Amino acid sequence: MASSQDRSQGRSGGIVSGGATEAVTFTGNRALQIEEPLIFEMGQPGRCGVDLPEPPKVKDRLNGLRRSGDIGLPGLSEPQVVQHYTRLSQKNYAIDMGVYPLGSCTMKHNPRLNEKVARLPGIGDLHPLQPVSTVQGALELIDRLAHWLKTLTGMPAVAMSPAAGAHGEMCGMMAIAAALEARGERAQRKVVLAPESAHGTNPATAAALGFTVKPIPANETGRVDLAALKAALGPDVAAIMLTNPNTCGLFESEIVEISTAVHAAGAYFYCDGANFNAIAGRVRPGDLGVDCMHINLHKTFSTPHGGGGPGAGPVVLSAALAPYAPYPWIVKDGETWRVAEDDAKVAGTPLGRLKAFHGQMGMFTRALAYMMSHGADGLKQASEDAVLSANYVMAALKDVMSPAFDGPCMHEALFDDSFLKDTGVSTLDFAKAMIDEGYHPMTMYFPLVVHGAMLIEPTESQAKEDLDLFLGALRSLAAKAKTGTAAEAFKAAPLYAPRRRLDETLAARKPILRWKPSNNPPETDPVKQAAE
């Protein structure tokens, strides 16, 4: 357990010990690895990036409420601001830098064509309050994307407005609740079933809507235990929330039996579409009996993700749930597109409106650009390549790491920590050592059903030789761990990152979420310490 008093962590002042040489620089920098202060620590009183005229002397009407104190903004010149944020950006690992194997996140390449299209005049400068007559093309674009989403999923309706995956879950589960209400069974059907391997957002969504969550165990193949599911189904069950392929990277092979049993019990089938990248173009969720599914455009359809941009989580709906779609949607009257959002009707529908305006237009544009540039055949091939890559990872590592389940996987390869048994190296240590090798770690300790889980999703974006280098690094780390003498070295990782092992426990127990001068008293200011 990391000691909360250990201040050797964090800012290391440019010292790397254990190597042949120890280098201490005056600045604390290590070549391009710059020791960057917070912007508030850089600011100087009175400095300003622009030359503002003196405010005219006018009599204000603030009645003595004029602010007299400092507003707390740091004073910086424009080059200082540009340099600061550029240096910070260089510390960030990104899809554009290399393999980003974060499982269940689908960190795939964002084609530059998407960006070009999103910046076209008439798209890039749209405002949601523009007169509808001036945004006819944009509305058609939303409708076109809706058509692609319905076609790819085999579902008759789609709600475009949800802002991202969890918001989409909320939308879908609210539609289910509304449908139950209409049947007069909302009070009776209180239970939502979710497999133990579910994304955390699934039970959270159900609980937020007042449902009781009941976990369904996995069988020995990592899939839903059908007998246990059937035993849990009854007149009190509202829905099942299931991800397919699931978070173990496995296709739920009994999915049709599951949906049939769920429907026979009078419940609905919510599918979490986070892993749609494995099956888009190959399988239509509508054919599997799905009642609603959110689609993470920022995963499957390559819109920027993970700090790079907002998500977008349209929800496709079955005929049974389509009447409960939230406002607004796009309709065509003759030759004219319009937005269906009659205020009186919005207020009268069960879901009303879930989000301001029409959804994430910038993401819609990029997703449609991705779909149209790939075509139906290209989308299918992308899914196939994603599955092929994950199986390549699985095959390349299975003799040195321990696959959680036998057999081929879908779009992500799941390992447990049994290959680290008795080495003194934990999943966390292994992940930290990957940072030194120049990679963002895989998803770790998730799904919870697998001990010390390591979930690797390579996506279809990586060239074979880049994947080979990544796999070589993992094989080398596994071999090093298995020597049984490397535990200390692993515990010390990362050695070469801008920060050494961070105290995640202290950060969670005593989070400092806002910079205040008192958070950083001079005597413990690492920048000053480094200078002394």
User: Where along the sequence are the contacts to another protein (CB under 8 A)?
Assistant: 1-2, 200, 445-446, 448, 504-505, 508-509
Q: Which is nearer to another protein, 203 or 286 (CB)?
A: 203
Of 476 and 505, which CB lies nearer to another protein in the complex structure?
505
CB 22, min distance to another protein, A: 31
* Residue among 292 and 444 whose Cβ is closer to another protein: 444
Say whether 484 sits in a helix, a strand or coil. coil
Closer to another protein by Cβ: residue 237 or 449: 449
- Cβ closer to another protein: 112 or 510? 510
Rounded least distance, CB 2 to another protein, Å: 8
Least Å distance, CB 214 to another protein, is: 10
Q: Could you tell me the smallest distance in angstroms from the CB atom of residue 508 to another protein? A: 4
Residue of 82, 77, 83, 69 lying closest to 44 (CA atoms): 77
What distance in Å separates the CA atoms of residue 185 and residue 261, rounded to the nearest whole number? 18
Q: What's the closest the beta carbon of residue 312 comes to another protein, in angstroms?
A: 27
Q: Kindly give, in sequence order, each residue whose CB lies less than 8 Å from that of residue 278, ignoring residues fewer than 6 positions away.
A: 245, 249, 251, 383, 386, 387, 410, 411, 412
Q: Three-state DSSP class for 329?
A: strand
Task: Closer to another protein by CB, 427 or 459: give it.
Answer: 427
E strand map for 233-377: 237-243, 268-272, 292-294, 315-317, 329-333, 336-340
Q: Which residue has the tokens 């040195």?
A: 400
Q: Provide φ and ψ at 319, rounded to 5°.
A: -60, -35
N- to C-terminal Cα distance for the chain?
31
Least Å distance, CB 321 to another protein, is 28
Look up residue 337 and give its amino acid: W
Least distance to another protein from the beta carbon of 445, Å?
4
- Nearer residue to another protein within complex by CB, 259 or 426: 426
Sheet holding 237-243, edge to edge: 157-159, 315-317, 292-294, 268-272, 237-243, 191-195, 212-216
Is 57 or 509 the residue whose CB approaches another protein more closely?
509
In the complex, the smallest distance separating the C-beta of residue 448 from another protein, rounded to whole angstroms, is 6
**DSSP 8-state assignment for residue 448:** T
Q: How far is the CB of 510 from another protein (least distance, A)?
A: 9
For another protein, the closer of residues 219 and 505 by Cβ is 505
Contact, 267 vs 189, CB < 8 A?
Answer: yes
Helices (DSSP H) in 427-525: which residue ranges?
Answer: 427-436, 464-482, 487-492, 504-509
Reading the block at residue 474, the tokens are 């993992």
